[in-house]
């Protein structure tokens, strides 16, 4: 424990010299690092000794608490100092080996992540060395985290320690910056392994001319796509990283914090980063499929190992983003008000409003004022019913003209722009192929119905008496909105059919929109328990209606696993409980094997099999209906 004051004294002297212009520091960065690492080790040994003494009742509780408080403070402060020294060494490596801009002090934005790195510089990097940096930084981060948790407990500071709030601010700030440094290194490792996989796929193609050209192009295109994933919503993502890091460090560096972020804004930033992290998950899954389709069986081990390495670091990077989100706390999402159940009431006459003024005794001034102010002109009586007034309000508030809809070909974005709506998020959702199509277009449909007040139009029309001229106006408005929705639905069906990672809700939605052309009879696939024409694994092929451009989308497949061997003809009559699993797969997924499952598990899908999406009993029943009738008829489906 006596090493703590020595470390503190040496670091304080070195800090004082470093703050003086032109003065030589007392310690080199390597010496500061080594001294701080020794202090961390000494503090941990002291904490273990206190724990041992407590077990033997050889140390009074008050004395133990005082010593623990001191040691936890030394542990956190020395870890923070070690991080700062180590970070300077890492920055030198960025500058001299990767030609990246040097950072002179910790920053609140992901500068390193956004640096463009050259392939030749990346190929020279040893990923094991960067992993060693991560391991060492994790030790500092863990020590700072442990120290902060202890110091935040009531009464944990003891009576002898001074300046605890300042020490906690220092440790808290460096704890957040350490997390950012580790995230930047993981992003670098993504690039290192991406280039390594790229080179190995190229080399394999030269050695083996039998590799499918289309599969090779898909893998190369997927690897190129990683740049788009990293720059996904770049400005918005960078702002979210900055904001959430400030939330973590604002108590440590209040001068750097802008105006206080509301819980609603913080929640919005968290949503942005969750979306950003999800892009890496979707990219990893897609790349696994492409590589698995390219390398059949037990092919090129080098490619598989590089794919495993890339999958691992993609998962770690994605997790580091999610860790930042969770470190901020649950946040508070602002409730977005849905369209009101009833239409806004028309303004009430002033004569009917109850005055909110306090009653005052009448006086001369009041009497004089009343005699000088002329009486307001009489308001003609409004003979419209309440329903008619509400209909007029809706028609005026949400203008939608046939000429404009026809001119703009019912394009919802152009029409909404013409009406002054904010279309940025909706436009992005409609045209971003990396989004989950089901999630994206659920948001799009809801937004468009809100823009053009569909619920209020329907409500106003329902309340009017037969023969009212406003019914025709409202009907025309709904007809125009239907044209817009049909344009959106066309785009939605194309997106759902083209989604490379479809889920059961995608299939349910396509069935609802009559976009499933056919479902084949089950065919038996080879399985371990086959006996003659009896088996336990069966496949149905789902064909979609053509895309809007006339092209035919790739089919999907349903794999059905039965508990007992049966014939293919018996499968449609089985109760759902007779199946051990029913899953939706794409053409790429259906022939994948054990190594793909290993990759999926590296990506964080610990229970991953080749399937990705479970089909429940209701959806399966609707597929059987299409199989029997040969057409999609949602009105006869079981409720989803």
Residues 122 and 191 in one domain: yes
Give the model's pLDDT for residue 503: 87
Give the model's pLDDT for residue 545: 94
What contacts 120, CB < 8 A, 6 or more positions away?
A: none
State the burial class of residue 230 (Cβ atoms within 10 Å of its Cβ: 0-12, 13-18, 19+): buried
Number of domains in the chain: 3
Token reading at 170: 């220092």
Q: Which residues of the chain fall below pLDDT 50?
A: 102-114, 251-258, 332-373, 609-611, 636-637, 639-640
Residues 508 and 486 in one domain: no
The H or E element containing residue 129 is helix 127-151
Q: What are phi and psi of 543, to 5 degrees?
A: -100, 135
Residues 425 and 515 in one domain: no
Do residues 35 and 4 lie in contact, with contact meaning Cβ atoms separated by under 8 Å?
Answer: no
Residues 535 and 584 in one domain: yes
Please indicate, yes or no, if residue 100 is contained in any of the structural domains: yes
Please name the residue that has the structure tokens 């009917």: 352
Give the model's pLDDT for residue 517: 93
What contacts 52, CB < 8 A, 6 or more positions away?
A: none
Please indicate, yes or no, if residue 374 is contained in any of the structural domains: no
Please indicate, yes or no, if residue 335 is contained in any of the structural domains: no
Please name the residue that has the structure tokens 């893998």: 219
Please indicate, yes or no, if residue 149 is contained in any of the structural domains: yes
Of 475, 498, 521, the position where a domain reaches its end is: 498
Domain span at residue 401?
Answer: 386-498
Residues 94 and 191 in one domain: yes
Give the model's pLDDT for residue 4: 61
Residues 49 and 147 in one domain: yes
What contacts 343, CB < 8 A, 6 or more positions away?
A: 390, 393, 394, 456, 459, 460
Do residues 412 and 404 lie in contact, with contact meaning Cβ atoms separated by under 8 Å?
Answer: no
Please indicate, yes or no, if residue 599 is contained in any of the structural domains: yes
Distance between CA atoms of 279 and 273, rounded to whole angstroms? 10
Give the model's pLDDT for residue 168: 83
Please indicate, yes or no, if residue 301 is contained in any of the structural domains: yes
Do residues 524 and 538 lie in contact, with contact meaning Cβ atoms separated by under 8 Å?
Answer: yes
Of 498, 523, 552, the position where a domain reaches its end is: 498
Please indicate, yes or no, if residue 415 is contained in any of the structural domains: yes
In the 8-state DSSP scheme, what is residue 543?
A: E
Please indicate, yes or no, if residue 337 is contained in any of the structural domains: no
SS3 29: helix
Give the model's pLDDT for residue 295: 66
Of 498, 532, 552, the position where a domain reaches its end is: 498
Residues 299 and 392 in one domain: no
Residues 222 and 82 in one domain: yes
What contacts 208, CB < 8 A, 6 or more positions away?
A: 300
Residues 526 and 434 in one domain: no
Do residues 314 and 603 lie in contact, with contact meaning Cβ atoms separated by under 8 Å?
Answer: yes
Do residues 457 and 392 lie in contact, with contact meaning Cβ atoms separated by under 8 Å?
Answer: no
Give the model's pLDDT for residue 359: 42
Residues 488 and 547 in one domain: no
Give the model's pLDDT for residue 343: 42
Give the model's pLDDT for residue 200: 82
Residues 420 and 405 in one domain: yes
Residues 240 and 111 in one domain: yes
List, for residues 265-314, the tens digit of each pLDDT value. Answer: 888 888 888 888 888 888 887 787 777 767 655 556 677 788 888 888 88
Give the model's pLDDT for residue 279: 85
């Amino acid at each position: 424990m006596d090493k703590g004051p020595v470390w503190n004294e040496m670091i304080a002297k070195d800090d004082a010299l470093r703050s003086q212009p032109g003065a030589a520091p007392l310690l080199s960065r390597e010496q500061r690092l080594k001294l701080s690492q020794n202090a961390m080790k000494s503090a941990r040994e002291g904490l273990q000794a206190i724990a041992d003494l407590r077990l033997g009742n050889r140390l009074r509780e008050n004395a133990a608490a005082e010593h623990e408080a001191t040691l936890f403070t030394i542990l956190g402060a020395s870890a923070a100092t070690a991080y700062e020294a180590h970070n300077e060494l890492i920055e030198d490596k960025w500058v001299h080996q990767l030609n990246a801009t040097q950072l002179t002090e910790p920053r609140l934005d992901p500068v390193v992540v956004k640096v463009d790195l050259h392939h030749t510089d990346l190929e020279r990097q040893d990923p094991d060395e960067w992993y060693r940096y991560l391991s060492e930084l994790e030790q500092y981060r863990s020590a700072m985290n442990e120290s902060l948790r202890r110091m935040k407990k009531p009464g944990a500071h003891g009576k002898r320690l001074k300046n605890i709030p300042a020490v906690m601010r220092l440790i808290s700030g460096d704890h957040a910056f350490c997390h950012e440094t580790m995230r930047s290194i993981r992003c670098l490792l993504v690039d290192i392994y991406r280039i390594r996989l790229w080179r190995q796929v190229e080399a394999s193609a030269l050695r083996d001319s039998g590799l499918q050209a289309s599969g090779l192009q898909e893998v190369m295109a997927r690897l190129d796509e990683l740049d788009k994933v990293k720059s996904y919503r770049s400005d918005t993502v960078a702002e979210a990283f900055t904001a959430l890091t400030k939330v973590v460090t604002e108590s440590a560096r209040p001068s750097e914090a802008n105006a206080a972020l509301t819980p609603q804004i913080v929640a919005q930033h968290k949503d942005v980063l969750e979306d950003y992290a999800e892009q890496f998950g979707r990219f990893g899954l897609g790349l696994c499929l492409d590589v698995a389709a390219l390398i059949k069986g037990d092919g090129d081990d080098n490619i598989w190992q590089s794919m495993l390495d890339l999958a691992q670091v993609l998962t770690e990077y994605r997790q580091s983003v999610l860790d930042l989100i969770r470190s901020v706390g649950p946040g508070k999402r602002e409730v977005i008000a849905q369209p009101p159940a009833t239409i806004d009431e028309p303004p009430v006459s002033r004569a009917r409003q109850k005055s909110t003024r306090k009653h005052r005794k009448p006086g001369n001034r009041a009497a004089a004022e009343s005699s000088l102010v002329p009486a307001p002109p009489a308001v003609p009586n409004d003979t419209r019913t309440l329903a008619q007034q509400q209909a007029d309000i809706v028609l005026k508030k949400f203008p939608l003209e046939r000429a404009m809809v026809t001119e703009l070909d019912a394009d919802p974005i152009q029409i909404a722009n013409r009406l002054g709506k904010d279309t940025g998020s909706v436009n992005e959702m409609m045209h971003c192929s990396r989004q989950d199509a089901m999630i994206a277009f659920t948001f799009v449909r809801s937004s468009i119905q809100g823009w053009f007040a569909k619920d209020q139009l329907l409500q106003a029309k329902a309340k009017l008496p037969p023969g009212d001229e406003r019914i025709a106006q409202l009907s025309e408005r709904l007809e125009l909105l239907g044209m817009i929705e049909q344009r959106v639905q066309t785009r939605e069906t194309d997106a759902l059919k083209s989604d490379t990672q479809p889920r059961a809700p995608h299939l349910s939605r396509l069935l609802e929109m009559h976009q499933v052309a056919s479902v084949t009879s089950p065919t038996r696939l080879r399985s371990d328990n086959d006996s003659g024409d009896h088996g336990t694994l069966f496949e149905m092929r789902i064909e979609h209606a053509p895309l809007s451009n006339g092209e035919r989308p790739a089919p999907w497949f349903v794999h059905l696993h039965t508990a007992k061997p049966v014939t293919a003809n018996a499968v449609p009559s089985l109760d759902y409980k007779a199946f051990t699993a029913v899953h939706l797969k794409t053409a790429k997924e259906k022939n994948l094997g054990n190594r793909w499952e290993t990759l999926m598990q590296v990506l964080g899908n610990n229970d991953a099999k080749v399937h990705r999406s479970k089909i429940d009993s209701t959806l399966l029943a609707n597929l059987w209906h299409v199989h029997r009738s040969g057409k999609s008829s949602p009105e006869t489906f079981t409720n989803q």
